[in-house]
Amino acid sequence: METTRAAQIKKPYIRLDPRTKLLVLLTGSFAALSAAPKSAEVMLILFLTLLLLNERQTGFAVKLLAVFAAMLLPDIFGASLLDGAAGVVLLAVTRIVRIYLPVCMAFTLVVKTTTVSAFIAALCKMHVSDKITIPVSVMFRFIPTVKEEWQAIRAAMKFRGIGISFKSVAIRPMLTLEYVMIPLLMSASGIAGELAAASLARGLDSGKARTCVTQVALGPADYPVMLAGLAIAVCAVAG
Amino acid sequence: MITLQNVSFRYGTGGDASGGVREVDLHIRKGDCVVLCGRSGCGKTTLTRLVNGLIPHFYEGVLSGEVRVGGRDSAARSLAKTAEIVGSVFQNPRSQFFNVDTTGELAFGCENQGLPREEILRRVDGARVLFGLDGLMDRSIFELSGGEKQRIACGSVYAAGPEVYVLDEPSANLDAGATEKLRQILAALKARGKTLLISEHRLYYLAELADMYLYMEDGRVTRALDRREMRALPPGERAAMGLRSLDLNGADYRGRAAAPRDGGALLIENLVCRRGRRRVLDIPRLSLPSGEILAVVGANGAGKSTFAHCLGGILRHKGTFSVDGKALSDKKRVEMSYMVMQDVSRQLFTESVLEELSLGRREAPVKEAEDLLRALGLYELRDKHPMALSGGQKQRLAVAAAAFAGKEILLYDEPTSGLDAVNMRRICALIQDMADRVFITAVITHDLEFILSCCTSVLELSGGTVTDHYALDGPGVEKIKRHFLKEVVNYETKGNSGKTENRHGAAAGAGGY
Amino acid sequence: MIKKKLTVKDLIVAGAFAALYVVIMLVIVSTASLTPVTWLMAPLLCAVVLGTVYMLYCMKIPKRGAILILGVVVSLVLSSTGGWAAPAWGIICALLAELLAALGRYGSKGWYAASFCVFACSTAGPFWMLVFAKAAVLATIENTYGAGFAARMDALTPPWIVPVVIGSAVLGGFIGGAIGKRLLKKHFEKAGVV
């Protein structure tokens, strides 16, 4: 076998349809933002953790579960004892973090575990227009590119003695902004043009129905997951 | 298979005719491998775009004449239809993939054609077997090396099943080993009767494949040479045409002996750089005499970039750098050094050439700046926007900016990738000229021809350690040639298990500052 | 007016610019949210910085629908930080911005800059969630700890905070649009990129 520095992409235990994941994101963010009782909150987090574990995002899932547990502690034990401003602030902060955690988990579930091709296929099946499907999939592909460009530009700036410290932003905000934006925009629009040429030269604009090498179909596992997602949302909203 | 009849094209709709081709007549038979060569800007790329349909469907301009591929007029056919019979591989591995995962990318062309899933899987598997992509399936493309990306690009095109392959400088960003791998892929395609049209500066790897060379000048095809005629071309004439060497091993040493200077040396001690838990660089002791032009060579992931970034002081590391016992801190070295990047566009910040020089200097002496621009042939362009310059001009501007800022350590990251012989000689002259003024010059490069015509010493890296460091004298020249041949041979003997590439992989690209 | 219909090339360019827009936005927001005061300023800062990205994008695709597409994609990402209200709000902002650009017949830099004042407000979307999240938090707190405790919490986030944040985004949009217009002329037009 050939050795490459690129790690193998993780395969889930049970493959879920991207549409199921999108539904989980939707119901999850609804549930998180309603005045859910703690039981529903815990259920939602455990549900999302299971889904992430299924996708082998173990490290991330465990980390967020731990944060959630830590944020639950003051609510159970300390906060009622801590009267006064400190208690209020502590409670508010932990509660807000707990609202954002499930949204963040569900978002990761959709973004990190779906290939571009499967994502396009799922959106097609949902009859989403190309006008959204293509930009969204290009965006996910382009985010790492922006990161690469940014790192190179940062290095170039250091060699030219252009810093982006608090000081430089405070003293010469306009100039600093210009030195950051110009190379970034120049190179990003160049790459975007080349990407467009390459994609079209490989028949992206065929007008035919695209097929997808990853099977995108609702399987036996998808329905229980969707139902569970909906049930948790209902529990949370109904209190 | 491909016929061009009296084809002319110029970009844009306005009056300023830039680039393009003029009155090209061409006929390429099925199964032939045709190489387009000539200096940068001669119209090679335009010709490839005419064949793959990007002209006139993507790039706008004025087209006359007729381009027929597979019997039909490609201007009258949609780009997607052309894509079914013409597959394209482009120069820049970073910008030509649409997917994030390799398997998805291999299937991309087939998916666009709307082929059934089973058929796509069969074809992707065919590409995997033919091109030896086993180790590259189900990976994130962003973590691949340039050579690996280029192989995925070839595989993806192959899976789509075209009869004609159009490749625009596919080796521009590849090292010797990856170029050899590319040669194997092209040979496999040729053996399957595919028609190949390759625009390229590096000719040595195509020597056994090409049936015909088309030499272009100023938008016209001025000479057509078959394999034997090209071989028989006297080196002097070939050089006058601005063509690169046909034989990697035959390249001659044309450099000059290192001018001995008593400027001391830069001493590097106990240099260790980690990325995560992995040691990506480990150099116990290294002394770099001033005035030398040091070629930094090694396979992908050997630690070349990491070394350059540590030297330039922009990457965190352990260990010390000193001159005559005086330590040079990271901060000091950042102030002293400058890196000319492979993609120069990322390091030009201002709105005019003259401005670019004085950036960062409060009271820049205009006279001095203008003299420098004159010396580099940029004076006429002084009011132009740096991004409106050609690639070679941008490169010279970046070097000029370093010189004007009084930098003492000059680092070049693959300055000759995608350059024709004339531009390569020009950048050689520039690097040599600059080397006389600065303390240290180090060049990361994969280009043997360049090393032999410009550098004075070599630093071989492998797995983050120095495996050899020698002057480019008689034995040194033999050594560096052996080094490059070894890279190629490793691929030939091990075939699909090319272990030289990325065995010691450093983290992706310039990652993690 | 040249071509009005969006091509696949336009859609790919749109995706690339959306990525740039989103990355810069997320970097600013995550840096700004280190302190509460800068957190409230995040929409303003985003608008000032992103004006150039927006203006260049509009010049690259001067067609109907381009702004809406950017708006939809940005909104989808914003949903990661605040559920469903952010995208709803973002799409409303994008529609209004599209309207302003249409008034300039998709060819006027002035109108495009004006449209950015509205578009920039989309970054204020997650702040709407403050209102909803607050209701949720207060409800649970009232159940557990009583009304007094809840009232004190209520005082921490006054109701006028959302309009103020939106106002700051409009101001930032004005500044960002002006910067964008200037840099377009200084760099991108001179270099022949647009």
Q: Are residues A174 and A86 part of one domain?
A: no
Domain ranges of chain C: 8-191
- Token pair for residue C106? 């998709």
A8 CB within 8 Å of a chain B CB: yes
Question: DSSP code of B101?
Answer: B
Asked if residue A116 lies in contact with residue B99, where contact means CB atoms within 8 angstroms, the answer is yes
Q: Is the pLDDT of residue C156 over 70?
A: no
Q: Which of B36, B41, B11, B154 is nearest to B419 (CA)?
A: B41
pLDDT in tens, A53-77: 999 999 999 999 999 998 888 777 7
CATH of B29-59+77-240, one of 3.30.930.10, 3.40.50.300, 3.30.1220.10, 3.40.1390.10: 3.40.50.300
What residues of chain C lie within 8 A of the CB of B53, using their CB?
A: none
Q: Are residues A95 and A161 part of one domain?
A: no
Q: For residues B157 and B109, what is the distance between their CA atoms, to the nearest angstrom?
A: 7
Q: Are residues A187 and A143 part of one domain?
A: yes
Question: DSSP code of C188?
Answer: I
- In B, minimum Cα distance to A121 occurs at B111
**Which chains border A (3 or more CB–CB pairs < 8 Å)?**
B, C
Total domain count, chain A: 2
Q: Is the pLDDT of residue C44 over 80?
A: yes
Q: For residues C18 and C71, what is the distance between their CA atoms, to the nearest angstrom?
A: 9
| Per-residue confidence (pLDDT) for residue A80, from 0 to 100 | 59
**Which chains border B (3 or more CB–CB pairs < 8 Å)?**
A, C
Contact between chains at B387 and C187 (C-beta distance less than 8 A): yes
Asked if residue B88 lies in contact with residue A202, where contact means CB atoms within 8 angstroms, the answer is yes
Structural domain for A39, as ranges: 18-118+220-238
Least confident stretch, C28-32, C89-93, C113-117: C28-32
Q: Are residues A198 and A166 part of one domain?
A: yes
Selected residue with higher pLDDT from A125 and B88: B88
Q: Is the pLDDT of residue C80 over 80?
A: no
What residues of chain A lie within 8 A of the CB of C187, using their CB?
A: 182, 186
Q: For residues A68 and A2, what is the distance between their CA atoms, to the nearest angstrom?
A: 41
The CATH homologous superfamily of the domain defined by B265-493: P-loop containing nucleotide triphosphate hydrolases (3.40.50.300)
CB crowding B78-90: b at 16 or more within 10 Å, else e: bbbbbbbbbbbbb
User: Nearest-CA distance from C65 to chain A in Å?
Assistant: 9
Domain ranges of chain B: 29-59+77-240, 265-493
Distances (CA, A) of B234 to B217, B246, B248: 19, 11, 16
Name residue B37's amino acid: C
Q: Are residues A31 and A147 part of one domain?
A: no
User: Nearest-CA distance from A43 to chain C in Å?
Assistant: 17
Share of chain C above pLDDT 90, in %: 57
| Per-residue confidence (pLDDT) for residue B14, from 0 to 100 | 56
Share of chain A above pLDDT 90, in %: 41
| Per-residue confidence (pLDDT) for residue A166, from 0 to 100 | 79
Mean pLDDT of the region A76-88? 65
The question of ipTM being above 0.90 is answered as: no
What pLDDT band is residue C142 in, cutting at 50, 70 and 90?
low
Q: For residues A215 and C182, what is the distance between their CA atoms, to the nearest angstrom?
A: 49
| Per-residue confidence (pLDDT) for residue B504, from 0 to 100 | 37
Q: Are residues A190 and A143 part of one domain?
A: yes
Asked if residue B298 lies in contact with residue B460, where contact means CB atoms within 8 angstroms, the answer is yes
**First and final C-alpha spacing in chain B:** 50
Name residue B48's amino acid: T
Contact between chains at A131 and C6 (C-beta distance less than 8 A): yes
| Per-residue confidence (pLDDT) for residue A43, from 0 to 100 | 92
- Indicate the residue of B54, B138, B337 with minimum beta-carbon distance to A201: B54
CATH of C8-191, one of 1.10.3430, 2.60.40, 1.10.1760, 1.10.3470: 1.10.1760
Taking chain B (513 residues) in runs of 10, the rounded mean pLDDT of each run is 92 66 93 93 92 92 91 88 94 91 94 93 94 90 90 94 94 87 94 96 92 94 93 87 81 62 84 89 94 90 91 93 92 93 91 88 80 89 92 90 90 89 88 90 92 92 93 88 78 44 36 33
Q: Is the pLDDT of residue C129 over 80?
A: no
Q: Do the domains B29-59+77-240 and B265-493 sit in the same CATH topology, yes or no?
A: yes
pTM attached to this predicted model: 0.90
| Per-residue confidence (pLDDT) for residue A164, from 0 to 100 | 77
pLDDT in tens, C53-72: 999 999 999 999 999 999 99
